[in-house]
A = this chain, B = another copy of it.
Amino acid sequence: MTDSATDARARLEQAGLEATPRRVAVLEALAALPHAPAAQELLDAVRRTTRMDKVTLYRTLDLLVEAGILQRHTGADGAFRHCMAPAGENAPHGHFQCTRCGVMTCLPPLPEALDAAALLPAGVTVEHVEVRLDGVCGRCRQG
């Protein structure tokens, strides 16, 4: 049993969720990827070790987002990406997405400047802040 699997189990049980093989596999695959993958890429990664239907993946992602273990972000292409929520940390972070290869990478925590709710119309409540920088990554820019 790898320690990443142990970590995955710990986070699941800590959230009161059953540590099933697919859920552990999803968390392990996600931890092994250096970026925030789309569902299809994550499914491919999981399937290298575990048989899983795409419906199960989508249901698992819903569950993990609901439990606060994962964060869901909107890609410039309209497809969702998921990344690990830093454990015990609640500072939101933004993402960079390459318009050529589509890879989305996590950025360090945002400056507080964004919390400036001064911009907001009156009477609204903000639950989530999404910041995405779109451009060309080093590799696609012919690095």
Give the number of copies in the complex.
2
How many residues of A sit at the interface, in one of the four size bands? Answer: 35 or more
Q: Decide yes or no whether A59 CB sits under 8 A from chain B.
A: no
In the complex, what distance in Å separates the CA atom of A67 from the CA atom of B25? 45
Which of the residues B111, B124, B138 comes within 8 Å of A136, measured between beta carbons? Answer: B124
A127: nearest chain-B partner, CB-CB: B135
A117: nearest chain-B partner, CB-CB: B133
A125 to chain B, nearest CB (A): 5
Asked if residues A141 and B123 are in contact (CB atoms below 8 Å), the reply is yes
A78-93: CB near B (< 8 Å → 1, else 0) gives: 1110000000000000
Given contacts A74-B74, A78-B74, A114-B113, contact A126 B135 (CB under 8 A): yes
Asked if residues A120 and B138 are in contact (CB atoms below 8 Å), the reply is no
Q: Decide yes or no whether A60 CB sits under 8 A from chain B.
A: no
Given contacts A124-B138, A128-B134, A131-B131, 5 further A-B contacts (CB under 8 A): A78-B79, A123-B143, A125-B135, A126-B135, A130-B133
